[in-house]
């Protein structure tokens, strides 16, 4: 019985992408739920901030593992099965762009937030999700329509 490495790599690639996407959705829903507490009174904001920081620490571990699995499996799929076509290079570029935009925005706009904060300042989180979801949509469109 032969092992189908192509199928295994695809499974890892798709599962990693889904886990990465899922962590972003989970963060979005958590932030939406915590918003009233993080933009409200000081005592509640500190309690919610502690919860948020704990979640982000755990979410980052899952997201980092997912991103690494997507990158490694994607590179292996390109190298051994699909070749280095222009669309594979485009997808790699989009993934790098997604990571760079996300990390850049986190450093610039999210890390400086202190809680409680004004609702207008809290909206920076939603701009981050807009960047992430837009990039996911572009990567998926390239993947399904051009690869």
Give percent above pLDDT 90 in the chain.
Answer: 90
How high is the pLDDT of residue 143? 84
**What is the per-residue pLDDT across 89-130, written as a single tens digit (0 to 9) for each?**
999 999 999 999 999 999 999 999 999 999 999 999 999 999
Instruction: Tell me how far apart the alpha carbons of residues 23 and 17 are, in angstroms, rounded to a whole number.
Output: 10
Quick check: 1 pLDDT over 70? no
* 64-73, 101-110, 113-122, 137-146: segment of lowest average pLDDT: 137-146
CA gap 102, 3 in Å, rounded:
37
The Cβ-side half-sphere exposure at 2, using a 13 Å CA radius, reads: 4
Give just the sign of the alpha carbon dihedral 127, 132, 137, 138: positive
144 Cβ contact list (under 8 Å, min separation 6): none
Burial 17-42 (b: 16+ CB within 10 A, else e): bebbbebbeebbeebeebbebbbeee
What is the pTM assigned to this prediction?
A: 0.89
Average pLDDT over residues 29-50: 95
Residue 1 DSSP label: -
The pLDDT-based confidence of 87 (bands split at 50, 70, 90) is confident
| Two tokens, residue 79 | 């190298």
* DSSP single-letter state for residue 3: -
Whether pLDDT at 9 is above 70: yes
pLDDT at 33: 96
């Amino acid at each position: 019985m032969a092992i189908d490495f192509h199928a295994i790599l695809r499974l890892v690639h798709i599962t990693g992408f889904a886990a990465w996407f899922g962590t972003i959705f989970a963060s979005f829903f958590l932030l939406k739920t915590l918003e009233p507490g993080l933009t409200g009174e000081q005592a509640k904001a500190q309690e919610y901030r502690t919860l948020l920081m704990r979640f982000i620490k755990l979410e980052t571990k899952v997201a980092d593992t997912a991103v690494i699995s997507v990158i490694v499996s994607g590179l292996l799929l390109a190298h051994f099965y699909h070749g280095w076509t222009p669309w594979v290079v485009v997808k790699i570029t989009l993934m790098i762009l997604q990571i760079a935009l996300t990390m850049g925005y986190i450093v610039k706009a999210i890390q400086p937030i202190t809680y409680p904060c004004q609702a207008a300042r809290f909206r920076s989180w939603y701009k981050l999700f807009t960047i992430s979801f837009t990039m996911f949509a572009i990567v998926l469109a390239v993947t399904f329509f051009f690869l």
